[in-house]
Amino acid sequence: MQENMAKTFSISLLSLCLLLHSFLANCTIITPPLVPALYIFGDSLVDSGNNNQFPTSAKVNYLPYGIDFPNGPTGRFTNGKTSLDFIANFLGLPFIPPYNGLSIAEKGKTITGINYASASAGILRESGTYLNLSPNGLVMQGRNVPLGVQIESFKETINLYLPQNFQTNDDLSQHLSDSIFAVVIGGNDYINNYLMPTKYNSSHLYDPNKFAGILLQEFTQHLKNIYNLGARKFLVYNLSPIGCIPAMVQLRNVTHGCADDINDIAAPYNVGFPGMLEELRNSLPGSTFVQADIKSSFFLDHRPFRDGIIDSNPCCLTDNETHQCLKDVPPCTDRFRHVFWDAIHPTQTVNSLLSIGCFFSHLICTPMNVLDLALL
């Protein structure tokens, strides 16, 4: 009964969100900031341009990416805003700038948050770093900023740049403890590591349960490192059903539905994910960990998606190797109806739905939503 009520509510919420989407995607909500800053760690789901200068194919500072973003192409892997762009907006904060896009002077003046996320990066240092030349000479994958190095950049921020804006160490500590730290990562440890047996040996060495345990153990230490640098409020995302993304469906030559074997491979990670966060809550004094449950997000498994109200095909024409949009090729015009922008990443529509559900409701984000987290 409770599950049916939750599903009914989520479908109603989806309908409401679709009505609000156009408004949310094209406006800025101006309020006094609910938190001093939002610090972002992760991969291409939330990267805002950190890979733009790297020798890698995992960068998208070209059209049609950003076609619906106020500033055009920035390096965001979608047509408009990421989910954390919306979250920042709801918090009353400006767009969070990419660390690698800031000058030293700008780093010293930025106090509303920094984005350290890097496309193709993973929890494991090696994920997404394989080198391969495509027929046109493009480096496939290559350089990224793995989570551990992103945290080192954050450490540099609090040692060299943030202190310029605070009179005392206590003021800086208060800034950090009141800020929100969002972490969106893990997909590339499967898509650009475990599921590439000719590039990586992880699938030869570990079964899915063992590999998930390694990832969660490593992730636990990374989150502890962020905590030890002063963070107290965490928003951490689990994995989406990666077997349902077009690139993985194509990889398995599935003609209808998802690549279920890939979802099964990644399932142990999501099973162990809540326990990891609970262990951190219990062991780190003063910490609050909110789980964003992308796995069960209503837009993937409920009736509007199944009935074709939302299209599951990529909105843009994609490259078969990078799975990214072909440069300067016009995308679909009904972007509002699409789950996927390219063969891996969601559209702005999906990002807005996820952020609304996570910020205002308790269906996606638990044990509290982001608004509750901000008001702690």
DSSP letter at 326 equals P
Catalytic residue among 43, 68, 85, 342: 342
Catalytic residue among 21, 43, 44, 179: 44
Q: CA-CA distance, 345 to 331, in Å (whole number)?
A: 14
For 226-269, strand residue ranges (E) read 233-237
Beta bridge partners of 291: 236, 366
Q: Which residues of 351-376 are buried (b: 16+ CB within 10 A; e: fewer)?
A: bbbbbbbbbbeebbbeeebbbebbee
Structure tokens at 251: 């990889």
Place of tokens 């398995």: 252
The yes-or-no answer on residue 342 being catalytic is: yes
The yes-or-no answer on residue 323 being catalytic is: no
Place of tokens 């963070």: 231
> What is the sign of the dihedral through the CA atoms of 224, 226, 229 and 230?
negative
Closest to 263 in 3D by CA, of 293, 246, 240, 241: 241
The yes-or-no answer on residue 345 being catalytic is: yes
Closest to 203 in 3D by CA, of 185, 189, 217, 183: 189
> CB under 8 Å to 296, separation ≥6 — which residues?
364
Give the type of residue at 217.
Answer: Q
Catalytic residue among 21, 175, 338, 345: 345
Give the type of residue at 185.
Answer: I
Q: CA-CA distance, 94 to 334, in Å (whole number)?
A: 28
Q: Which residues does the annotation mark as catalytic?
A: 44, 342, 345
